[in-house]
Structure 1
Amino acid sequence: MASAIAQAPTTFARAPHQRAKGEGRVAVVARDGVTRLADLYQQGCCKIRLPDRRSDGQEVVLINSSGGMTAEDDLRWHMTAGKSTHLTISTQACERVYRCNGDPARLNTTLTVEDGARLDWVPQETIMFDGGRLNRKLTVDLQDDAEVLIVEPLLFGRMAMDEQMREGSLRDRWDIRRDGRLIHREALDLEGDVESKLASAMVAGEARAAATILFASPKAEALHETVRQHASSTIGIALFDDRIVVRCLARDGYDLRAAITPVLRTLRDGRDLPKVWNT
């Protein structure tokens, strides 16, 4: 009699999607009047490169080696400018936020600027693709007369590639403190039908690119009029005590850069933006 061998159907457990996680940390100190690296730590997909140091401080380039962000990715940056130093931080490329099928990607940045120091946080654009979801938080702690320059450019799709962000979410939070006292807070929430919301005249008037610039410094009032002279008609500028806040909406990323670059150069005392902005 022929024997039959019963075999159970083969089942495969669905492996969880791999998530990008990383943390990077940089600290600089002043030695003999020169800004020098004191601490560097990189883990996971967060990579850090140091271009040739210039006489006016240390430049840092941040890299997300995963190539972009999607559901449940988690990146954390910690940057510290020690007393009487100058630290400039940018990104090697635009950060990309792709369609998320789960919880939003998370990006947390902490900047600490000690007495007499200056930190320029000038990353390239964050591109939100259709279905992208991002929760982002920026925390800044300033001591005494420390200075900080912040720019966060955003693109909702790339017009040159005929891309649009139709739906998704962006939750963006800024908390800026001086000597422990809150001096500035930003909150942006876009959720659901992003395309329709951006089309509203009360929101973006169909603009697909936006940027916020903040300069907190005892020199803010003295620079306010000069910034106005270098600003285009698409830019709004406000002065609050010791800080300048600039808002810009533009048709696309090209127009956005053209509008904000003269303002950033003015706030950087005439210095060009990091070379990675031109690569």
Structure 2
Amino acid sequence: MDDAQIKSELTECLAQVLGTPPRHWAAHLTLRFAHHQVAQQQDANQGARSFLAFKQHRGPLVLQKSLHPEGQAVCHGVIVHPPGGVAGGDALTLEVTLEPQAHALLTTPGAGKWYKANGQPASQHLHFSLADNACLEWLPQENILFDGAQVDFSARIDLAADARYAAWDIVCFGRQAQQERWQTGHMHQNLAIYRQQKLIWREVGALTPHSRCMQSIVGLSGNPVSASFIVVAGTVPVEVIEACKAVQPNLALDLQARYGVTALPEVFSARYVGQSAQTAKQYFEQLWQLLRPWYAGREVTRPRIWNT
């Protein structure tokens, strides 16, 4: 038996033992957060505890750790995609359920990288379900679309009557550090938010590098970064709206930045279009400091992972 035959048989044996590696990853992570009221506590806030009650994953999408950096009432979690980037054909699904009164803050350790698709779109689907008086904060790092990326983002948020939801989404078209432009590919977005099964917010978008929106002054106006921050927690107090309107991003770092806030009866929305994903995040963090005491009844505590 020559070396080629030996190598062929060894390869076949390894494939039988280990299985053939998948060409594409279909990753699914399910989380459930619960709330527990400690008995015999004079201060209800001191006795409240939110915690991870259930987790299950299939494929490379995991919860790195659950933490309580701001006390027991809020559970922080870091969502990790171990491969570090999403290739064409990969599909990520994150399902999160919050039981009554639970409060969770979820983030990611670094930017999401969406690679060249080679003709096969990648996708990310979020499904969040919040029970009465629950609060979920979804504050991931930015998503970077490499040239050639074809990405489908979708999210469905189901809220009970008194549930509160805060989330931001920062998208960078092309790798700015490499002076790369997004010249081929597509991005589809579909966000739907329901309160008591009634649709209260819908965003649908379909972009390619040649879409009119990419260059239009009513769109991205040639900028590579588009970001949004929404809070669904009822009517925003006037003083909070005015304070948010006074906030500005660091224009010294991004002279082309355009930004603004809108307050509707059900939803607060902030937008940023500019040159810098970092500037967008800093702007949103300033707004978060003003908004969180209103919708969550507590000051901001930055996730520790943001400092690394």
**Fold shared by both chains (TM-score > 0.5):** yes
Taking every aligned residue pair, what percent have the same amino acid on both sides?
21
Aligned counterpart for 1:177 among listed residues 171, 175, 194: 194
Gaps of 5+ in 1: 1-14
Name the aligned partner's letter for residue 50 of structure 2.
T
Matching of residue 253 in structure 1 with residue 277 in structure 2: yes
Higher share of residues assigned strand: 1
Determine if contact 1:172/1:188 at 8 Å carries over to the other structure.
yes
Separation in structure 2 between the aligned mates of residue 277 and residue 158 of structure 1, nearest angstrom: 20
Higher share of residues assigned helix: 2
Separation in structure 2 between the aligned mates of residue 28 and residue 254 of structure 1, nearest angstrom: 30
Which residue of 1 is the match for residue 68 of structure 2?
Answer: 53
260 and 111 in structure 1: CA distance in 2 versus 1, 3 angstrom threshold: same
Which residue of 2 is the match for residue 213 of structure 1?
Answer: 229
Gaps of 5+ in 2: 1-19, 38-47, 250-256, 294-298
Matches within 5 A, 1:123-202: 123-193=140-210, 197-202=213-218
Name the aligned partner's letter for residue 252 of structure 1.
S
Determine if contact 1:158/1:253 at 8 Å carries over to the other structure.
no
Q: For structure 1, which segment, 32-41 or 115-124, has the greater mean C-alpha deviation from structure 2 after superposition?
A: 32-41
Which residue of 2 is the match for residue 8 of structure 1?
Answer: none
- Once the two structures are TM-superposed, the CA of residue 135 in structure 1 deviates from its matched residue by 0.6
Determine if contact 1:95/1:126 at 8 Å carries over to the other structure.
yes
For these two proteins, the number of residue pairs brought into alignment is 264
Which residue of 1 is the match for residue 16 of structure 2?
Answer: none
Deviations 1:38-77 (A, max 9, x none): 1111211111122432323111111111221122111100
> Aligned Cα RMSD in Å?
2.0
Say which SS state the counterpart of residue 134 (structure 1) adopts.
strand
Say which SS state the counterpart of residue 230 (structure 1) adopts.
coil
Determine if contact 1:153/1:212 at 8 Å carries over to the other structure.
yes
- Once the two structures are TM-superposed, the CA of residue 197 in structure 1 deviates from its matched residue by 4.8
Which residue of 1 is the match for residue 133 of structure 2?
Answer: 116
Matching of residue 44 in structure 1 with residue 68 in structure 2: no
Say which SS state the counterpart of residue 283 (structure 2) adopts.
helix
- Once the two structures are TM-superposed, the CA of residue 186 in structure 1 deviates from its matched residue by 0.6
Which residue of 2 is the match for residue 230 of structure 1?
Answer: 247
Say which SS state the counterpart of residue 23 (structure 2) adopts.
coil
Determine if contact 2:235/2:264 at 8 Å carries over to the other structure.
no
Determine if contact 1:70/1:133 at 8 Å carries over to the other structure.
no
Which residue of 1 is the match for residue 28 of structure 2?
Answer: 23
Which residue of 2 is the match for residue 94 of structure 1?
Answer: 111
Determine if contact 1:200/1:206 at 8 Å carries over to the other structure.
yes
Question: What's the TM-score, normalizing by structure 2?
Answer: 0.80
Determine if contact 2:182/2:209 at 8 Å carries over to the other structure.
no
Separation in structure 1 between the aligned mates of residue 274 and residue 209 of structure 2, nearest angstrom: 22
Which residue of 2 is the match for residue 11 of structure 1?
Answer: none
Separation in structure 2 between the aligned mates of residue 87 and residue 52 of structure 1, nearest angstrom: 10
